[in-house]
Amino acid sequence: MHTVSTTDRRRQMPMGDRIRARRKALGLTLQQVAQRSGLSAPFISQAERDLSVPSLVSLLALADALTVDLTYFMEVPDSGAIVHRAAKPSRIAIDSPVDYIDLASDLNGRKLDIILMRVPPGHAFPTDQRNGEDFLYVVEGEITGVVGKTKARLGPGDNLHFDSLQPHSARNTSDREALVLYVGTPSIFRKTADGVIDAADA
């Protein structure tokens, strides 16, 4: 059985969580840390919630107040596997005639999706609307994209990049498969406990 070390767990934590975890481990209040560091309690509270990014000088003061080395706050999360081999595609488990191949790595707190889609002839994606940005690039074949009042027929090399709050959809109106690269934020795909990539709606 693989045991996750304390260091590994900390690497997976945002900076704000690291500050809060250390403060609570020492049994200190925000006001006590403020007194020790010379920083204001509201600023420390914002830093703990990742609403404010402390400067190097502020981090040095916090490190001194929390009796840790500066590297406690500076460790970079382990990004996991960052190389994908063509011979071992990561397919997304979703009930759809579209073949979704995940090209993104297993970054902790992943913020975007990078998906290669094989879209069969006649397939239409439902109209969607959500916070974020979408990018579609046609590698092979043709699709027709609709974004707000804009409708465009896209061939190889053509792309759409738009605010996904606009109602949008796409359809393969040709008689052959289309290969489309999709990049979008925020990520709507996730890995389940058994490592299978899944999505609520896509």
Burial call 121-142: b when 16+ CB within 10 Å, e when fewer? eebebeebeeeeebbbbbeebb
The pTM of the whole model exceeds 0.75: no
> Residues 29, 31, 35, 40: what is their CA dihedral angle, to the nearest 10 degrees?
130
Are residues 163 and 97 both part of a single domain?
A: yes
Are residues 34 and 111 both part of a single domain?
A: no
Has residue 190 got a pLDDT over 90?
no
Tens of pLDDT, residues 93-116: 788 899 999 888 777 667 889 999
* Residue at which a domain ends, from 46, 74, 102: 74
* Residue at which a domain ends, from 47, 74, 101: 74
Residue 85 lies in a domain: no
pLDDT score, position 4: 37
Residue 80 lies in a domain: no
Tokens 């027929």, located at residue: 153
CB-side neighbour CA atoms (13 Å) of 11: 12
Residue 153 lies in a domain: yes
Q: State percent of the chain over pLDDT 90.
A: 58
* pLDDT classification of 3: cutoffs 50, 70, 90: very low
Has residue 69 got a pLDDT over 70?
yes
* pLDDT classification of 123: cutoffs 50, 70, 90: very high
147 near 160, Cβ under 8 Å? yes
Are residues 62 and 120 both part of a single domain?
A: no
58 near 51, Cβ under 8 Å? no
Number of H helices, E strands in the chain: 6, 11
Residue 67 lies in a domain: yes
179 near 172, Cβ under 8 Å? no
pLDDT score, position 126: 93
| Mean pLDDT (whole number) for 88-95 | 81
pLDDT score, position 46: 93
Q: What angle do CA 54, 60, 66 make, to 5 degrees?
A: 100
Are residues 39 and 101 both part of a single domain?
A: no
| Residue span of the structural domain in which 60 resides | 6-74
Tokens 């704000």, located at residue: 16
CA distance 148 to 62: 48
Are residues 169 and 103 both part of a single domain?
A: yes
Are residues 195 and 96 both part of a single domain?
A: yes
pLDDT score, position 77: 54
Residue 19 lies in a domain: yes
User: CB-based burial of residue 113 (10 Å sphere; 0-12 exposed, 13-18 middle, 19+ buried)?
Assistant: buried
